[in-house]
Amino acid sequence: MSTARAGAPRIGVLAVQGDFAEHLATLRSIGVAATEVRLPSDLDGIDGLILPGGESTAIRRLIDRWGLREPILELARSGAPLYGTCAGLIVMARDIVDGDATVLPLLDVAVRRNAFGRQLDSFETELLVPVLGDQPVHAVFIRAPIIERTGPGVDVLATLDDGRIVAVRERNVIATSFHPELAGETRFHRLLATMAAEHADPAEGAGRRRHPTRRTGSAGGAGSTAS
Ligand code: GLN
C-alpha cells in the first residue's frame, strides 16, 4: 500500500519485450518517475503500470516465465491504473478472436489481432479522443488490433471514421490499438499519471484535504492525511 506520496506517483513499464523504452522516455519527458518492470518484485511501490506494444505472443510467454501474471492482476485489483498500447491491449483483453488464450482478463472486450490486413499494415491518422480535449491525437498504428466487442462497463474513448473502436477505458484500465508514445503524444501518459496520483494518495477525492485558500493557521498541506 502506498502512503502519502501525494502528487508524485511512480509508474512501471513492463520491460520484457516491445517498445518499453519509448514509454519510459514519454513518462520521463512529462516529469513522471518511471521504472522498468521485469520481475514481480519490480512492482513493489508502483502506482500504475504500462503494458507496451510489441509482439503479444512473446509478451504473454515472458509474463508467464517471470511469474508476472498474478502480481499484475493483483496490482489491477488494488485499483492502480494500467495502460496498454497495441500488444498491451491484446494482453489485457478478456477475449482474443481467432484462438489465443486470454492472458490478463482485465478489459471486457474482444480484440482481433493484425486486423488491418497487409495493405494497411501500418498507418498514421489524426484521431479525435474527446476525453483528451479538442486537439486530435496523432495515432500511429502498427499491425494493430481492433476492438470488436465491448462489455457494458467499457467506455469507448475513440473510433476510426468507419466506427471501429481503437481506444477504451474500463474503470482503472485504459487501452489503445495505437501508439501515442511513438508520436510525441503525452496526454494518455498524463491521464495515467493523474489516475496513479489519485491511487497513491488516499485523501484525493475523499474531501479530507484542507482547501488551500482557506488555511486557518495550522500547518495543513501536503502529506497530512490524518483525520
Ligand atoms: N501485431 C502485434 C500482436 O499481435 C501487435 C503489434 C504492436 O504492438 N504494434 O501482438
> Per the structure, how many domains does the chain have?
1
pLDDT at 203: 80
Atom of ligand 1 nearest to the CA of 85: 8
Is 145 exposed, middle or buried, given 0-12, 13-18 or 19+ CB atoms closer than 10 A? buried
- Give a yes or no: residue 31 inside a domain: yes
Residue nearest to atom 2 of ligand 1 (CA): 55
- Give a yes or no: residue 225 inside a domain: no
Residue nearest to atom 5 of ligand 1 (CA): 87
Q: 32 pLDDT exceeds 70?
A: yes
**206 CA from centroid of ligand 1 (Å):** 39
Its sign, for the CA torsion 198, 202, 208, 213, is negative
- Give a yes or no: residue 226 inside a domain: no
Which of 65-74, 92-101, 212-221 is predicted with the least confidence, judged by mean pLDDT? 212-221
Domain of 30, in residue numbers: 10-214
- Give a yes or no: residue 221 inside a domain: no
Amino acid (1-letter code) at residue 35: T
**33 CA from centroid of ligand 1 (Å):** 26
Q: Is the CB of 115 under 6 A from ligand 1?
A: no
Pairing mode of beta strands 107-112, 93-96: parallel
Q: 139 pLDDT exceeds 50?
A: yes
Q: Per-residue pLDDT averaged across 210-223, rounded?
A: 57
Q: Is the CB of 52 under 6 A from ligand 1?
A: no
Q: How confident is the model at residue 120 (pLDDT cuts 50, 70, 90)?
A: confident
CA–CA separation, 142 vs 114, rounded Å?
8
**85 CA from centroid of ligand 1 (Å):** 9
- Give a yes or no: residue 40 inside a domain: yes
Q: 133 pLDDT exceeds 70?
A: yes
How many CB atoms within 10 Å of residue 29?
13
Percent of the chain with pLDDT over 70: 90
Of 61 and 210, which is predicted with more confidence? 61
Amino acid (1-letter code) at residue 213: T
Q: Is the CB of 108 under 6 A from ligand 1?
A: no
Q: Per-residue pLDDT averaged across 145-156, rounded?
A: 98
Residue nearest to atom 1 of ligand 1 (CA): 143
- Give a yes or no: residue 4 inside a domain: no
pLDDT at 219: 47
* Strands annotated E in the chain: 10-14, 33-37, 48-51, 82-85, 93-96, 107-112, 122-127, 137-142, 146-150, 155-159, 165-170, 173-176
Contact 166, 176 (CB under 8 A): yes
Q: 222 pLDDT exceeds 70?
A: no
Q: 17 pLDDT exceeds 70?
A: yes
- Give a yes or no: residue 43 inside a domain: yes
pLDDT at 2: 43
How many CB atoms within 10 Å of residue 205?
9
The pLDDT tens digits of the residues spanning 70-113 come to 999 999 999 999 999 999 999 999 999 987 899 999 999 999 99
pLDDT at 213: 73
CA–CA separation, 107 vs 199, rounded Å?
19
Contact 110, 79 (CB under 8 A): no
CA–CA separation, 209 vs 220, rounded Å?
8
With cell 519490480, the residue in question is: 42
pLDDT at 3: 43
User: In CATH, what number is assigned to the domain containing residue 25?
Assistant: 3.40.50.880
Of 155 and 208, which is predicted with more confidence? 155
Atom of ligand 1 nearest to the CA of 53: 8
Q: Is the CB of 191 under 6 A from ligand 1?
A: no
Q: Max Cα separation, the chain?
A: 66
Distance of alpha carbon 36 from its chain centroid, rounded?
14
- Give a yes or no: residue 3 inside a domain: no
Catalytic residue list: 86, 179, 181
